Structure 1
């Protein structure tokens, strides 16, 4: 996926059991990378891009992702578009979805307290090893050694999309040009798959994304945004740490 993933388990279990849980998560994430990579010639996504696979002949996971991307395209008025750059690229959904599935697998295996961070897309459950909620710092979009917000959650997802590390890599699908207006978009909610996609869509919208994000708060997805000119906005129920 082109990023590092860190996993923290806070359950009181024997070390071999914890290691086995981490091995399972890592195995799943490597499976996702092999299947959905746009850089590996033998991945399902690459084969579909070349016309060697159809939706009917691909894996259940890829069909599920394609269906989710289609739903998000409709729900975001086209601003979340897996075809924004031309060929199929579901990466804006896959990373959050794969970590959400990994968290579900950990929970099903009995890990009620854990934290997974995939390049700033984070899913946490339960309590921190020292008790209390998990704390997540949202990086300042100009000063890397500073934070814009600190969040505190016991069960939820945090996804950030921005231009301060990879440049203007998100396209406005309506113009085909790099998105402008928003420097950093963080979305917090119950599902990392959706939070990740929503953050990407809002960044693609530019400043109109502020109004769109405000509407998402009624569905349990709060947000924190910094604009290109340095203004900061956050929704009323953002779980900021005291």
Structure 2
């Protein structure tokens, strides 16, 4: 099918699909799903379900099953991180974005698989789900952006049937807050997590970044997660099993 790119959730999302056949309807479904998620869950859209719930216009019993699932994931990672990861910070509106993007893109990939796609790469601003191979015998290559050098990569990770997510400050500045202190997270420059599922990879990367230096060991200990972390002293911490190219 080739490559298709659209701007959704304020970032470019690309689908590179290498299977034979016409998957245009499946691609339409993927981008339609992502646009619907943005409309429903964005904390920046006044009429989104998240904003309406935050204003008290919806009760818990009136929420969609999808938002109930997302809020459950936020609560799970808040508990796992000892409060460093928080979707609701004091004096700020509810913001589940740190879970929503990975969850939504993983769901989109699941829809592609259900439509019969077997070899594709879905990339949402550097958070990536891969399936199969771009060509026989070669993995998908996922570049990890350098945290300090614009338009440079610090690593390239090979991925088959997996997910890669990175949390850093190069796109939005100091936007990740340590929920324990309410202050911008400090101690790490970049956290990349490789896992089987982008929901897990994305939430783990954000929580680890919020934890600061504690996040290195915490993320490495999470079941099914491999890490590539650069700390504030430019030391690199990585799991032995990473497929680096």
- Using the TM superposition, give the Cα deviation of residue 125 of structure 1 relative to its aligned residue in structure 2, in angstroms: 0.5
Match of 1:43 in 2: 48
Distance in 1, matches of 2:183 and 2:141, equals 35
Distance in 2, matches of 1:181 and 1:50, equals 34
Match of 2:191 in 1: 185
Q: Is the 8 A contact 1:164 1:183 kept in 2?
A: no
My pick for the range that moved more, 177-186 or 74-83, is 74-83
Distance in 1, matches of 2:135 and 2:38, equals 29
Match of 2:237 in 1: 233
Distance in 1, matches of 2:239 and 2:80, equals 20
Cα 1:235/1:84, change in 2 over 3 Å: farther
Distance in 1, matches of 2:166 and 2:27, equals 24
- Which SS does the other structure have where 1:116 is aligned? strand
- Which SS does the other structure have where 1:224 is aligned? strand
Q: Is the 8 A contact 1:84 1:172 kept in 2?
A: no
Matched, 1:2 2:10: yes
- Using the TM superposition, give the Cα deviation of residue 240 of structure 1 relative to its aligned residue in structure 2, in angstroms: 1.4
Count of residues in Structure 1 that have an aligned counterpart in Structure 2: 236
Gaps of 5+ in 1: none
Matches within 5 A, 1:1-242: 1-13=9-21, 17-84=22-89, 86-129=92-135, 132-216=138-222, 219-241=223-245
Q: Is the 8 A contact 1:127 1:134 kept in 2?
A: yes
- Which SS does the other structure have where 1:183 is aligned? strand
- Using the TM superposition, give the Cα deviation of residue 2 of structure 1 relative to its aligned residue in structure 2, in angstroms: 1.8
Q: How large is the RMSD of aligned CA atoms in angstroms?
A: 1.3
Deviations 1:129-170 (A, max 9, x none): 465110011111111232211100111000000012211110
Gaps of 5+ in 2: 1-8
- Using the TM superposition, give the Cα deviation of residue 237 of structure 1 relative to its aligned residue in structure 2, in angstroms: 1.2
Bigger share in helix: 1
Q: State the TM-score, normalizing by the size of structure 2.
A: 0.93
Distance in 1, matches of 2:89 and 2:193, equals 21
